[in-house]
């Protein structure tokens, strides 16, 4: 799961920049999302296939949320994509799902 959103990066407008949660961690009270941004999905896929992050524009670690830790809760990554912190920062985001994924 990833998403696309329009951003202003160093004065340059990038339409449909590609975002992916690179890592997520924390405690049951506070979970921090490490979000990577790429200019395009193709650049993300290139890095993924080469096991590198050389094409990312930036990493954002300013987003956090309190996860649901109940037995029926979704995994933390899915919760991260649905978190209010992420929705507030990227109100125009469009989810990008891989085969077999659902929101």
pLDDT in tens, 18-35: 999 999 999 999 999 999
Answer for the pair 22, 45: CB distance below 8 angstroms, yes or no.
Answer: no
What integer pLDDT is reported at residue 96 of this predicted model? Answer: 92
pLDDT in tens, 43-94: 999 999 999 999 999 999 999 999 999 999 999 989 999 999 999 999 999 9
Q: Which residues contact 69 (CB under 8 A, 6 or more apart)?
A: 28
The domain ranges of the chain are 2-93
Distances (CA, A) of 24 to 7, 35, 78: 22, 9, 10
């Amino acid at each position: 799961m990833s998403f696309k959103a329009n951003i202003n990066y160093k004065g340059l407008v990038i339409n449909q920049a590609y975002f992916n949660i690179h890592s997520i961690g924390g405690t049951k009270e506070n979970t921090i999302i490490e979000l990577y941004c790429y200019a395009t999905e193709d650049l993300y896929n290139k890095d993924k296939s080469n096991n590198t992050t050389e094409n990312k524009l930036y990493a954002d670690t300013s987003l956090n949320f309190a996860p649901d830790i109940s037995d029926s809760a979704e995994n933390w990554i899915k919760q991260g994509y649905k978190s209010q912190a992420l929705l507030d920062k990227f109100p125009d985001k469009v989810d990008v799902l891989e085969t077999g994924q659902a929101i």
